[in-house]
Structure 1
Amino acid sequence: MSNPATDIFTTRESEVRSYCRNWPVVFNTAKGPYQYTEDGERYTDFFSGAGALNYGHNNDILKDVLLEYISGDGVTHSMDMYTKAKREFLETFTDLILTPRGMNHKIQFPGPTGTNAVETALKTARKATGREDIVSFTNAFHGMTLGSLAVTGNAFKRSGAGTPLYHATAAPYDDYIDGETSDFAWLKRIWADSSSGHSRPAAVIVETVQGEGGLNAARGQWLKELQELCREHEVLLIVDDVQAGCGRTGKFFSFEDFGLDPDIITLSKSISGYGLPMALTLIKPEIDDWEPGEHNGTFRGHNPAFVTGAKALRTYWADDELEKNIAARSEQLHTRLEVIAGLAEGSAVRGRGLLSGVAFADLDAADKIAAAAFQRKLLIETSGSSDEVIKIMPPLTITEDQFADGLDLLEDAAREVLGAPARAGA
């Protein structure tokens, strides 16, 4: 059926479009945890730009510095030239993020997306070690360019490459086999045996929470043993914090609670603070072996993102107030998710912090709940190899009351789909 509001999208935009098929309305404005259609309908946003809007839509604090910078004719595009905006971002990131955590990583600005950060990490590891293979994990997702796809597990996404994906080996993620760290027995054996048929890899790349892979959250013990294994065999450890970082799981980096010291870290999504394209690859100085210009990208100098990114760090990471809100909202979320999981046999809460959801034994349930939520004007997505998980990612700045209202909508949608009695007071 023709719809004048969306006809141009369906007739002219590529068939690859995705989210709009499940949310077939035209959004026009947005503020905080809400998006508004051109008809004025309000939708509560528990998607947050796939994690690119950790501080909400059009955050006033960030918007003000962005408008001031633009109106003052600040440099927009600079490649990798020196600018005041870049200097202030580097100083702020060093003072508020790296130094307090005892980190001395160099900061590389790749192209402005998460997959650019991952490609840079993979190239850095191969260049520093002289080895080709990268070990990734079952259900991993690291991006949609060829190198990133090679270390991604999802068969549907990998098939889009249209070419063989080389120099990557998949290993079992935590709890993929038996939930024991003996899952590493295979890696230990093949790395130690020169006749195993497997070369020692350049690096291992891991997400501490697999956002797209089904909200699988690795245990601290598993992650620490992985780091020890890498150190023993002089294999670099890459933590992909594109989605789980910037506070999404509680601390700025998702690995802080586990005492990890990654050689390389990838950041993107919310590092700009405002949803502007920006990515970082953090590299220990001893493996920063690049020649000038050996790796580059036209939009690696996006100065408006430096401005909002620095302001976001100064506003939200100079003290622990945001961390306290994340902890409180995480407890609020997990309490409600346990209720939803209890509505269907075989369901389980997954994830960590404000990157969490519910996995259903009925592989159709999550999609149906997401659709029912949209009918109630709530935006959520699904994840997992069969889209069997509802995935909740609100802004980290959301208030208790705003969150409660959205979680009521989510629970009502789940109860309708699962055939459970209506929520008390609904």
Structure 2
Amino acid sequence: MSVFGQNCTACDITVSDNSSDLNLAAANQTVCITGNFTFTRGISFNNYATVICIDETVTFNPAYQNGIASTEYNLYGSWNMNNGNICGNCTINNYGTLSNFSAIDGTLNHFSTIPISVTNLNINSNGVLNIGDNSVFNVTGAMTNNNEIILGGTLNVSGSFTNNSDGEIENNGSISVGGAFSNNGDMCSSTCGEVTVGGSFVNNGGAGLGYDTNSNSNCGELSVCVNGGTVNNGVIGNQVTQNCPLLPCPPPTPLALDTLVLQVQQQGEQLYFKWQATQNLPRGGLFLIEESADGQNFKPIFRQPFIDTDQKDCQWHYPNPRFSKAYYRLSFASSLGVKPLSWAWATFYSPSQPPFSLFPNPTEDILKLQFADNTLLLQAFQIEILGAQGRAYRQIKAADLAQVSDNQIVINVGFLPAGLYFLRFQNATQNYILSFIKK
């Protein structure tokens, strides 16, 4: 069970026992593996990219214990990799329990509040280890990085740690090394990273601590404590503070309710969601699109891992809306819980494409409805301007319009506060909805 209390959803294929092989006949399918069992049957993805969601506890036979290339895994349950490696060109988003591996050739996004503990770890030339803001990764032996570490939470290495020349570390959390730390690459921080070394710290020639040797510039604030002495043959940036005990980093800024701007628009018979973060979010969480029939009781219908702080523009389409009128909001789930980060938008679903265009969008003062001909304009109709939460701001009937020229209706919206709105066009047999933004 996920630390967020969530399970696999939107499954194209569900595997709940070991009774048959797993074969894909199409690309971009979601395979949900539920239940507690060992899967020893064959797997054939036919080179299709896919998503595997693991709901509870699964053990794969040796042929698949490392994962499968071109596959994304969402792990809400438990996966014992039997001393394997995380495969190249695959991604594991861990929200549960991942154990018993010694190397990373693909991408591991560790977002769980349950710590990962391994004996020794090599991050190989294409490997990426991303540790979420509230997550802990423990290495009880030695660790070597040959590519990339993105750190928001805590990395504890009991033995020695080597960051080789191709290794890059983005440290926005805390690194603790019990033995010696040899740095041959770069370590940067976009906020304030902490480093504690029990043994010696050697910053070798060509390496940068708080300094990007590629751009020859400082690359963030780091607070460093070395108990066994420091040897610097590289470059230490002028925003690096060396002090024991560590000088603490400032606490993060709380997230505001309007951190995420959400738009919902119908295209054909699908709803399209677009959202944009207005400030940086903690790495290692989930975007949740939640749906409600009454605007009060919400359930998640879509989840997307939040991996990179630059990931600010996102979208998703909803192929089969369940309600003709529904409320949607965007939330953000982390190990600290689920927090709504947008207001609830009321959406009125209409089952076909409107026969008119709406522009300019965004607008400051006027909104134009352009029809292909006057067929609908000769009938009785009503236009409503609705707020994001369903409030009616204006109603216009056909009889209210003295004259319509060039098959175009012009509406004054300059009185509206800035925000997201919906325009609904209704007649005796049709109902169309489009959204627009008032600047």
- TM-score higher than 0.5 here? no
TM-score by length of 1: 0.25
More strand per residue? 2
Larger radius of gyration: 2
User: Whose RCO is larger (CA < 8 A, sep 6+)?
Assistant: 1
More helix per residue? 1
